[in-house]
Amino acid sequence: MRALAQSSLARQTIVLLIGIVLLSVAGGIPTTIGLPSACASFPLCLPGTLSSWLTVAHVVLAGMSGVLMLRLLCTAWTQWRHHAAILPLATVAAVLFFGQAFVGAMQVLRGFPEHLVVLHAASAVSVWIALIALAVVSLRIPSGHALPSEPLPTRRIGDFVALGKPWIVALLLVTTFGGLVVGGHGWPSATLTLWTLLGGALAAAGSSALNQYIDRDLDGQMQRTSRRPIPAGRLTPAEGLAYGLALCLISYYLLATLVNLTAALLSLAGILYYVVFYSILLKRTTDQNIVIGGGAGAIPPMVGWAAAAGHLSLAAWILFLIIFMWTPPHFWALAIVRTRDYEKAGVPMLPVIRGERAARRQILIYTLLLVGTTLLLPLVGAAGTLYSIAACLLGITLIRSAWRVWRIPGNKTAWSMYRWSSLYLMFIFLALVLDVLV
């Protein structure tokens, strides 16, 4: 009992854990011993049988546990925002808990589809793991160690938005919507569009936040990124990690319950690709980091396609390939402009390792491959005349910009290529959307 008294956070966590144990028992007994369903509606039934009483107990315990979870989350974000383990664990536990409740409601409403049943059970186990880990960590902290409560100034909300790189999210949503329209062969429903784009936005923003958490040491050394929220000290690393994990988890819950499993798994694959494969394994080890890592940014149109069609086709993989080919010339152009920054931070970008001339040559080569890839869509019947004309005109303009980078060394042409390539990607997908809708 003395160990419990060492930390109010530990007490909160253990009380909540006990509540969730009782909640799981009340919810699991009817299924385990084969009691009939208490009622056909969700969430509350009038008591009259053992099953009905268990249903009421389950709902009451869920409400009490929800209040305790919110209190725990508030404690973590006001008193433990500098702690590398407590804040992420508390945040993840809260998202998993409320995500499980949401999935539980949706599986009842949708007739218990298998993937939601599995997600509901996996969420329950994950909540237990997160809370047990949080209890272990908090029990090792002496009483009074928590930092004083801090308000959440408005400016910090802007910093959280900045963690998600909203301009990149907007560009990815354009490609997601393109996949949604082409995959569905027409204008998608408002609800499908809303949940697909919201889920995609949260996945992209969460991945970006996790990337900034991982790269916080590099960002602090580079002029371009030194004013980002974490290296500048406006947000703590723990806040960045907790925020990124929360957004990624919420995005999966939304896509899995309100869109479909294929879209949710593709989005999850994109998150893991970007955070683990690119940010952790590739970025600091090879000058081909952008080439291989480009697959992460190429997944959003496939998510849109899967959301509309429920599966992938050859045209969906061509959309993936378009962005995969677009990524190297886009980011190598930026790398030329910021070569000294990357060199100072020790990031092995192509201009740093092989020199500017090699980077300029590769920009031209990949631009030619990119434009050629965009012309594959009409060949497989996924686009028509309007898109073909737009792809040719846009492609000629982009090749001209890449040719200037090749022929004229220096930052000016590279910066022009970097900015125009962003617009190019947006325009090529808008042309694809218009081609399908017109």
Nearest to 237 by CA among 76, 79, 83: 83
pLDDT by residue (tens digit) across 329-347? 999 999 999 999 888 888 9
Check residue 28 and give its pLDDT: 61
CB 351 within 8 A of CB 374: no
Q: How many CB atoms lie within 10 A of CB 380?
A: 12
Check residue 21 and give its pLDDT: 81
CB 282 within 8 A of CB 292: yes
Query: Which amino acid is it at 327?
Result: T
Compute the distance between CA of residue 59 and CA of residue 22 in angstroms, rounded to an integer: 11
Please tell me whether the peptide bond between 153 and the residue prior to it is cis, using omega within 30 degrees of 0: no
Check residue 8 and give its pLDDT: 79
Q: How many CA atoms lie within 13 A of 382 on its CB side?
A: 26
CB 205 within 8 A of CB 270: no
Compute the distance between CA of residue 69 and CA of residue 29 in angstroms, rounded to an integer: 23
Query: Which amino acid is it at 344?
Result: K
Which residue carries 């801090």 as its tokens?
A: 150
Check residue 235 and give its pLDDT: 93
Check residue 32 and give its pLDDT: 53
Which residue carries 């590279």 as its tokens?
A: 414
Domain at 315-438, CATH class: mainly alpha
Q: How many CB atoms lie within 10 A of CB 286?
A: 15
Domain boundaries, the chain: 2-139, 153-312, 315-438
Nearest to 146 by CA among 85, 94, 76, 235: 76
Nearest to 169 by CA among 212, 211, 198: 198
Along the 438 residues of the chain, how does pLDDT read in single tens digits? 444 434 678 888 888 888 888 877 766 665 555 544 445 444 445 555 555 666 666 677 778 888 999 999 999 998 898 999 999 999 999 999 999 989 988 988 888 889 999 999 899 899 999 999 999 998 887 655 555 445 555 557 889 999 999 999 999 999 999 999 999 999 999 999 999 999 999 999 999 999 999 999 998 888 888 899 999 989 999 999 999 999 999 999 999 999 999 999 999 999 999 999 999 998 889 989 998 888 999 999 999 999 999 999 999 999 999 999 999 999 999 999 999 988 888 899 999 999 999 999 999 999 999 999 999 999 999 999 999 999 999 999 999 999 999 999 889 999 999 999 999 999 999 999 999 998
Check residue 255 and give its pLDDT: 97
Topology annotation, domain 153-312: Tetracycline Repressor; domain 2 (1.10.357)
Please tell me whether the peptide bond between 43 and the residue prior to it is cis, using omega within 30 degrees of 0: yes
Check residue 209 and give its pLDDT: 96
Check residue 48 and give its pLDDT: 53
Compute the distance between CA of residue 73 and CA of residue 85 in angstroms, rounded to an integer: 13
Nearest to 286 by CA among 365, 201, 373, 352: 352
